[in-house]
Structure 1
Amino acid sequence: MRITILTVGKIKEKYLRDAIAEYTKRLSKYCKLEMIEVSDEKTPDTASQTVEEGIRDKEGQRILKYIKDDMYVITLEIEGKMLTSEEIAEKIKNLGIQGKSSIAFVIGGSIGLGKEVLKRADFSLSFSKMTFPHQLMRVILLEQIYRSFRINSKEPYHK
């Protein structure tokens, strides 16, 4: 299975880069993982709704360039469906059974995802009603993908 993580912006903090590297190494046993970062737009503190929408659309166009037709696209959104770790594992397993061997997880920038990206999504996933820094979400997402493969392989992993 091929997993692509599409994100907006670069990781600046070493501790997050280290965590991402650790989960990338762990996941190499289970899947082919690709991390793609697209550049983010500077968002003024006093940006209007229209300006923010324009920023989301620009970032969205950058994301869409990397989404292939055969990818099953899962966007991370506060308004998405919340699943347990076991349910995410089941979803990944079922996608593989259905012949969907390429899954793209999309994490937007600090103000979210553009309309076109949301339209392209096959599934929208929420980790919480809380807002997390999008850089930290990468680590959380990678950990849950790793946990999913461990669950599906019937391998022990702390609960």
Structure 2
Amino acid sequence: MIKIVAVGKIKEKFSKAQIEEFEKRLRPFTRLEMIEVADEIAPQTNSDAQNEQVKEKEGERLLSKIKDNEYVILLDLWGEMISSEKFAEKLEKLQTYQSSNITFVIAGSLGPGKNIYQRANYRWKLSDLTFTHQMTRILVLEQIYRAFMILNHNPYHK
């Protein structure tokens, strides 16, 4: 099973439609669960200490949705960037040898708190570019779908 746990709600219809399309495409390969947790208000006038509190609170909400037996992949600006082929290999090895329950975590706009970093088994960087949280969810779903296509020798990847 693959689970995506993210801070904030998807509001835009076009983003929801893209997410639903990838959910549908993934059904033959895996069970998918999407969980959203509430975000904290974080004005730009917040101090560093206040921002850390926001990240920890959001982290607690995220952690409450993660079980002990899940392998956690944190989307992180300082994580490892890998190719789609390497990502597919990683998913296959994880599901075969480590855990059939893989959870992707997308933290809030301030990034992950220390509590999420401590729980993460792997930190994955999608790109050097910055994306909205809505776009990040779509990109993660697309890469998961692409990985299954690669593993099944499907021409989608070309």
Does the 8 Å contact 1:86/1:148 carry over to 2?
yes
**Which SS does the other structure have where 1:45 is aligned?**
coil
- Letter matched to residue 46 of structure 2: A
TM (norm. structure 1) is: 0.97
Rounded to whole Å, the distance in 2 between the matches of 1:157 and 1:21 is 18
Q: Is the 8 A contact 1:6 1:104 kept in 2?
A: yes
The answer on 1:140 being equivalent to 2:139 is: yes
CA distance in 2 between partners of 1:124 and 1:147 (Å): 19
Alignment correspondent of 1:29: 28
Unaligned 5+ runs, structure 2: none
1:93 Cα offset (Å):
0.4
Instruction: Give distance in 1, aligned partners of 2:2 and 2:115.
Output: 21
SS of residue in 1 equivalent to 2:34:
strand
Equivalents in 2 of 1:158, 1:116: separation in Å? 35
Scaled by the length of structure 2, what TM-score is found? 0.97
Matches within 5 A, 1:1-159: 2-159=1-158
- CA distance in 1: counterparts of 2:43 and 2:107, whole angstroms: 17
Q: Which runs of 4+ in 1 moved over 3 A?
A: none
Letter in 1 for 2:20: A
Taking only the aligned residue pairs, the percentage that are identical comes to 48
Query: Any idea what SS the aligned residue of 1:91 has?
Result: helix
1:153 Cα offset (Å): 1.0
The structural deviation recorded for 1:96 is 1.5
Structure 1 window deviating more from structure 2 (70-79 vs 122-131): it is 122-131
Task: Give the secondary-structure state (helix, strand or coil) at the position aligned to 1:149.
Answer: helix
Deviation at 1:154, TM superposition (A): 1.1
Aligned length: 158
Root-mean-square deviation over aligned CA pairs: 0.8
Given that residues 79 and 129 in structure 1 are in contact (C-alpha distance below 8 angstroms), is that contact kept between their aligned partners in structure 2?
A: no
